[in-house]
Amino acid sequence: MNELTAVVLGATGLTGNLVLEELLKDENFVTVRVLTRRKINRSHPKLQQEIVNFNDMDDYTQKFGEGDVIFSCVGTTQKKVKGNKTLYEDIDFGIPVNAAKIGISKNYKKFLVVSAIGANENASNFYLKLKGKTEKALKEIPFVSLSIFQPSLINGKRNENRTGEAIAQTVMDLLSFLLLGPLEKYRSIGANNIARAMVNESKQKKTGVNYYRYNEMMDLARLSL
């Protein structure tokens, strides 16, 4: 059994919280450190909580600590940032990219990140362009393994109400049987499956940059490791 230490970013969100739960159940991980702006209502012998000012690199670096694997599930919405694109970029780009820079300086070996299908730094869509920009920056940091997860719509029960997303999920679920072959990557996927896929992937021995879309994530989620 490995004795790994993981850092989780975005543990207050849907996917990040499920990644946290998977890690706490996994015997390969002996320490799970979550970096958040506010304390989460969860206790466990393996869990370490650090309240971080992500805009303060000294604080961010100090609270990061030593470890092996970084899970980045950070993501915001236009509604949360009230249309402030600079703040949006500070969160979706700044937090994971700074985490990667800190992590590599502390000899972390693996970085796993939730991005989005269609991410492209040259996209006209702000969200997809930002995700593409983030992916590009992460690929320039020399981890032994960088795993990029590119879901389409993410299903699951959220703490906040996202009416438009809920409608889109319903439509996608109804049309999913039409998304075959190269279109399968656009199928919606449960956050629980993304979480299981990420934790299972973190225990693989792959190196370099690897992408995971719908089919690859579902295959990983089904593994028993």
Secondary structure of 33-90 as H, E, C letters: EEEECCCCCCCCCCEEEEECCCCCHHHHHHHHCCCCEEEECCCCCCCCCCCCHHHHHH
Closest CA to 117 of 154, 84, 86: 154
* Residue span of the structural domain in which 102 resides: 4-221
pLDDT tens track for 130-143: 999 999 999 999 99
What is residue 172's predicted lDDT score, i.e. its pLDDT?
54
Total domains, the chain: 1
Query: CB of 138 within 8 A of CB of 127?
Result: no
pLDDT at site 222: 92
- Say what the alpha-carbon torsion angle 225, 221, 114, 37 is, to the nearest 10 degrees: -70
Q: Rounded to 5 degrees, what are φ and ψ at 33?
A: -105, 125
Residue-level pLDDT at 171: 55
92-113, pLDDT tens digit by residue? Answer: 999 999 999 999 999 999 999 9
Q: What is the pLDDT of residues 43-59, one digit of tens each?
A: 999 999 999 999 999 99
* Tokens coding 27: 């015997």
- Average the pLDDT over each of 18-27, 143-152, 179-188 and give the range with the smallest value: 179-188
- Determine the pLDDT at residue 224: 72
The per-residue pLDDT for 14 is 95
Answer with the residue of higher pLDDT: 173 or 132.
132
**Tell me, what CATH number does 121's domain have?**
3.40.50.720
Per-residue confidence (pLDDT) for residue 132, from 0 to 100: 97
Q: Looking at 90-94, 178-182, 207-211, which range is the least confident one? A: 178-182
Of the pLDDT bands very low, low, confident and very high (cuts 50, 70, 90), residue 169 is low
Indicate the Cα dihedral angle 194, 197, 151, 55, nearest 10°: 70
**Gap between the Cα atoms of 3 and 32, Å rounded:** 11
Q: What is the CB neighbour count within 10 angstroms for residue 66?
A: 11
Q: What is the percentage of the chain residues whose pLDDT exceeds 70?
A: 88
